[in-house]
């Protein structure tokens, strides 16, 4: 840990310095300033919220409706396909983070999904619920989300400094040797602050400026780093035939990741998208978290259940019945439930000629087709890395951060929030909710008198 020289007087003194003007940092600065602190928000990019602008296909998936307590909190349209019974309040958000979920309890009590919706709607940003529970601005414009935050930031009185990359953060000592806060050394000059909030994000989408800068700051203060790896990221697979299905989306598939033995490492029922490099879509992005954290030497395998609502036995019976009726090709029989080009690819995988007609299908061929429909096996070679990852898996060890205040257990006055922490959730707005909530709690806590 670096310690600066004893405190001298400067007109660049603040109560709170927030490092990083992303989702968590913006909310942290807003909350700290609204609580009466003199706040500076430091950002290395030309503008705040760059990652917000490109999130959700430039629509920004603000949060997830499964975390709502009251459906009436949303003033915009609600897709009839969304089942209100799926709402479980704060528990739904925590569950999306697996083992990290309990850590978020205090932050979500300070800013839950209902309060997040209210925060944006109070700035004139109407929100809507889509059928899958994702909550977006009615305008479908991420820029409107960012503008709502920057308007409130300006009103709060917090100072925003862009194009100000942080070189180091140092503890300051008063003449009596007691802690007197921090000195933040910038590319040009420095500032002093009583407390610091580290909100610089992880390593996902490095083109947005999230290049892992905060990890070195945390480690300099003695924090343990869980190896950062790409998560919510598309997968590369071995066989080439899926590449011929580029652009095909399957809306209801169970995707699971398997090691050499034992139960699946992770599985998810959602949509799958075939791409020019392999597979993507919500189900794939969610199970990619297991790939990111796998340290074994054996190759992992992706399995797709293409008919998740039907048992193997029922599929076998249906296929037997269909092949006995008329002289339809097996390809056309499968195409009743699958895209024709996928049906043909499955026949190739199963070693069944595409021209095979139903009555000529052997029992062993039929069973191979059923196996492929219920567990199509695709060896995983890699992910697309941080360049295409939506979040970072890994970060500052949660045991070293007080969940009640998000203050470091190692360094008083040093708070952490957002993706720099070892928190990564499912796709669907959960990670943004964690950013808003941890930012709010960190800002509130850091604004309190020492």
What is the CATH classification number for the domain harbouring 108?
3.50.50.60
Does one domain contain both 400 and 363? no
Q: Which of 91, 52, 99, 98 is nearest to 68 (CA)?
A: 91
Residues 25 and 130 in one domain: yes
* pLDDT recorded at residue 197: 99
- Domain end residue (candidates: 384, 402, 433): 384
Domain that holds residue 50: 3-228+389-446
CA separation for the pair 131, 306 (Å, rounded): 21
Looking at the structure of the chain, the number of domains it has is 2
Last residue of a domain, one of 384, 401, 427: 384
Residue 131: which of 270, 313, 32 has the closest Cα?
270
Do 98 and 220 belong together in one domain? yes
Closest-CA residue to 432 (of 19, 77, 107, 87): 107
Based on the fold, state whether residues 247 and 318 are members of the same structural domain.
Answer: yes
Mean pLDDT of 269-274: 97
Q: What is the pLDDT of residues 391-430, one digit of tens each?
A: 999 999 999 999 999 999 999 999 999 999 999 999 999 9
Residues 276 and 355 in one domain: yes
Burial call 259-298: b when 16+ CB within 10 Å, e when fewer: eeeeebbbbbebbbbbbebbbbbbbbbbbbbbbbbbeeee
Residue 123 has pLDDT above 70, yes or no: yes
Give strand ranges (E) for 232-292. Answer: 235-237, 249-258, 266-274, 278-280
Q: Which of 361, 384, 407 is the last residue of a domain?
A: 384
Pair (379, 424) in one structural domain? no
**Statement to judge: residues 359 and 395 lie in one domain:** no
Q: What is the pLDDT of residue 7?
A: 39
Question: So what's the pLDDT on residue 178?
Answer: 55
Mean pLDDT of 61-72: 97
Is residue 174 over pLDDT 70?
no
How many CB atoms within 10 Å of residue 310? 17
In 3D, which of 164, 117, 151, 97 has the Cα closest to residue 398? 97
- Do 263 and 359 have their domain in common? yes
The answer to whether residues 253 and 308 belong to one domain is yes
Same domain, 214 and 257: no
> What global pTM score does this model have?
0.92
Write down the pLDDT at residue 10.
47
> Is a pLDDT exceeding 80 seen at residue 323?
yes
Note whether 220 and 173 are same-domain residues: yes
Cβ neighbours for 178, distance < 8 A, ≥ 6 positions apart: none
DSSP letters, 79-131, are -TTS-GGG--THHHHHHTTGGGGGGGHHHHHHS-HHHHHHHHHTTT--EEE-T
User: Is residue 330 domain-shared with residue 347, that is, in the same domain?
Assistant: yes
Name the percent of the chain lying above pLDDT 90: 89
Q: Which long-range contacts (CB under 8 A, 24 or more apart) does 306-312 make?
A: 306/250, 306/253, 306/338, 306/372, 306/373, 306/374, 306/376, 307/337, 307/373, 307/374, 308/252, 308/253, 308/254, 308/269, 309/252, 312/370, 312/371, 312/374
Q: Specify the higher pLDDT residue, 350 or 239.
A: 350
């Amino acid at each position: 840990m670096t310690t600066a020289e004893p405190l001298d007087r400067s007109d660049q003194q603040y109560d709170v310095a927030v490092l990083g003007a992303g989702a968590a940092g913006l909310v942290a600065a807003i909350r700290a300033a609204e609580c009466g602190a003199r706040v500076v928000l430091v950002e290395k990019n030309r503008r705040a919220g760059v990652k917000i602008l490109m999130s959700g296909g430039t629509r920004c998936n603000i949060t997830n409706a499964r975390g709502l307590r009251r459906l009436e909190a949303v003033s915009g349209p609600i897709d009839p396909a969304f089942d209100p019974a799926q709402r479980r309040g704060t528990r739904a958000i925590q569950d999306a983070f697996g083992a990290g979920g309990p850590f978020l309890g205090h932050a979500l009590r300070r800013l839950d999904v209902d309060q997040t919706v209210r925060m944006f709607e109070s700035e004139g940003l109407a929100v809507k619920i889509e059928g899958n529970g994702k909550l977006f601005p009615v305008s479908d414009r991420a820029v409107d989300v960012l503008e709502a935050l920057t308007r409130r930031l300006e009103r709060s009185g917090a100072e925003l400094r862009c194009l100000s990359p942080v070189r180091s953060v140092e503890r300051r000592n008063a003449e009596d040797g007691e802690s007197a806060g921090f000195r933040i050394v910038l590319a040009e000059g420095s500032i002093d602050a009583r407390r610091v909030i580290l909100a610089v994000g992880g390593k996902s989408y490095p083109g947005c400026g999230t290049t892992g800068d905060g990890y070195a700051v945390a480690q300099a203060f003695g924090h343990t780093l869980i190896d950062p790896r790409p998560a919510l990221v598309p997968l590369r697979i071995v066989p080439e035939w899926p590449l011929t299905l580029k652009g095909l989306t399957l809306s209801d598939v169970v995707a699971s990741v398997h090691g050499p033995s034992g139960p699946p490492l992770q599985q998810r029922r959602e949509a799958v998208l075939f791409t020019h490099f392999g597979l993507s879509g919500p189900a794939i992005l969610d199970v990619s978290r297991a790939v990111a954290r796998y340290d074994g030497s054996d190759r992992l395998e992706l399995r797709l259940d293409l008919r998740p609502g039907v048992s193997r036995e029922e599929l076998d019976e249906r296929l037997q019945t269909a092949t006995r009726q008329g002289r339809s090709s097996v390809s056309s029989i499968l195409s009743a439930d699958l895209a024709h080009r996928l049906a043909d690819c499955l026949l190739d995988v199963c070693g069944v000629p595409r021209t095979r007609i139903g009555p000529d299908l052997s029992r062993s061929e039929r069973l191979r087709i059923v196996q492929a429909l219920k567990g199509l096996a695709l060896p995983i070679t890699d992910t697309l890395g941080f360049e295409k990852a939506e979040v970072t898996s890994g970060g500052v060890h949660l045991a070293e951060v007080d969940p009640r205040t998000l203050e470091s257990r190692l360094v008083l006055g040093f708070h952490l929030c957002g993706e720099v922490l070892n928190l990564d959730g499912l796709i669907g707005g959960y990670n943004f909710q964690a950013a808003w909530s941890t930012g709010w709690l960190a800002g509130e806590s850091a604004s309190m008198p020492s």
